[in-house]
Structure 1
């Protein structure tokens, strides 16, 4: 058939068919005495396949390989689908970054957000691992294990809130002062021996139950009410009254609002169900520490 007949059978323009012929994916079987291209009966199906693959974004080189039996259509389709998946993930990230930036007028913030969110999953994980290495070194540590298992993991289709949270947590993990504070806490935890026993965990829960309402109500840590709470908590655990300053020292050493902020951010990035705000918990423990010192 002539190229015009092929165009009528496939719905493709003569110009497109000539382009495909010149590219080697739709070669003519011969030429007429007048020099016009001639195509065989299989050209219709071949042209339609080329058109479909091009509409799906498959390149001419891959199409030539498929038509030349150098690669299977299934393999090319699978590889191209993977490439599209990667592009879709990137487009979703870019969309979320732009939505998260709406309302800001700082171009440096947009640059920072773009740099931190277009990292690969492995590069994002490296930020967490570098922080853990800087804080805990090569020594095994249950806290390090918990941080590693609960590391922020940005989803493929993040919300603007998750993008903003990831940027903040990444900057926090690379903040030298935050790293130094975390290292001091880790070193003190190692120096003070094994993890607390079950009784101390029960005391920890009771602090929220007993001291929480008083702290939120603005009770004076030096008041008789605070003393009664301290004594009730001591009755639950192994800490004698003469060690109240030591207990307060430990609470203050391990109470850092940036640590609480870190877990809030991780929860947002990972899509965890929201729980009690870390700042509320820290407020209660700080109030309890002041009450311990007031009645030492």
Structure 2
């Protein structure tokens, strides 16, 4: 059949069929003496298959491989699905970035969001691993293990809040001052010996139960009410009594508001629902340290 007849049978424009023929995916069986292409009876099904695959976004090279039996249609479809999945993930991230940016007027903020969200999951994980390496090195630490296990995992279809949280985390973990502060905490923890025992964990729980309400209520750390809280906590402390000023200094050494912020951001990204916001925990321990100093 002539190319016009093929166009009538398939519903495809002559220009499109000519393009397929020139690309080698729809070869003519022969040519007339005048140079016109003649197509065989299988050209109708072939052209329709090409049109379907092109509508699905499959490239001409892959179509040629299928039609020449170099690969199966199933294999090409699977490859194309993987490619589409990757494109969809990128589009979802781009959509979330733009939604997170709405309301802002800082182009630099949009650039930071775009740059960080274009990273692969492995590259994003590398930011966390680089931080852990810089802080803990090769020294084993339960804190490092906890950070590694609780690393933020940006979902494939993130919300604008999750994108903004990821950008903030990435900037925090790359902040030289935060890295240096974290390293000092880790070095002091190693110098002070093994992990605290169960009794000390119970004291920590009691701090939240007793000092927490006082901090949230705005009780003056230098007041008699604050002293009453301290005395109750003193009675729960295991072992010999410790100087309150020294206890306050230790709390201050291991309390950094940015650490609390980190865990809040991780919770947003990973979809956690914490029983208590990390910032509230920091508020509690900061209040307790001030009260200890006031009544040292």
- TM-score, normalized by length of structure 2? 0.95
Alpha-carbon distance in 2 for matches of 1:178, 1:85: 36
The reply to whether residue 224 of structure 1 matches residue 224 of structure 2 is yes
Alpha-carbon distance in 1 for matches of 2:221, 2:4: 93
Alpha-carbon distance in 1 for matches of 2:227, 2:111: 52
Alpha-carbon distance in 2 for matches of 1:242, 1:143: 25
Alpha-carbon distance in 2 for matches of 1:76, 1:152: 34
Quote the residue 1:148 is aligned against: 148
Alpha-carbon distance in 1 for matches of 2:215, 2:69: 75
1:215-270 CA-to-partner distances (Å, cap 9, x unmatched) read 22222223332222222222223154443222211111111100001111111122
| Aligned length in residues | 296
Alpha-carbon distance in 1 for matches of 2:130, 2:236: 40
Alpha-carbon distance in 2 for matches of 1:14, 1:49: 16
Q: The residue matched to 2:252 in structure 1 has which SS?
A: helix
In structure 2, the gaps of 5 or more residues are: none
Moved more, 238-247 or 184-193: 238-247
Moved more, 29-38 or 229-238: 29-38
Q: RMSD across aligned C-alpha pairs, in angstroms?
A: 1.5
Alpha-carbon distance in 1 for matches of 2:262, 2:63: 49
Moved more, 224-233 or 181-190: 224-233
The reply to whether residue 210 of structure 1 matches residue 197 of structure 2 is no
1:142-162 CA-to-partner distances (Å, cap 9, x unmatched) read 111111111111111111111
Alpha-carbon distance in 1 for matches of 2:239, 2:290: 16
Deviation of the 1:28 alpha carbon: 1.3
The reply to whether residue 93 of structure 1 matches residue 93 of structure 2 is yes
Quote the residue 1:2 is aligned against: 2
Q: Is the 8 A contact 2:153 2:270 kept in 1?
A: yes
In structure 1, the gaps of 5 or more residues are: none
Alpha-carbon distance in 1 for matches of 2:41, 2:274: 64
Off by >4 Å, runs of 4+ in structure 1: none
Q: Is the 8 A contact 2:264 2:279 kept in 1?
A: no
Alpha-carbon distance in 2 for matches of 1:139, 1:272: 29
- TM-score, normalized by length of structure 1? 0.95
What are the within-5 Å matches in structure 2 for residues 187-206 of structure 1? Answer: 187-206=187-206
What are the within-5 Å matches in structure 2 for residues 102-251 of structure 1? Answer: 102-251=102-251
Instruction: Flag the 1:289–1:240 CA change in 2: closer, same or farther, 3 A.
Output: farther
Deviation of the 1:139 alpha carbon: 1.2
Q: Is the 8 A contact 1:234 1:240 kept in 2?
A: no
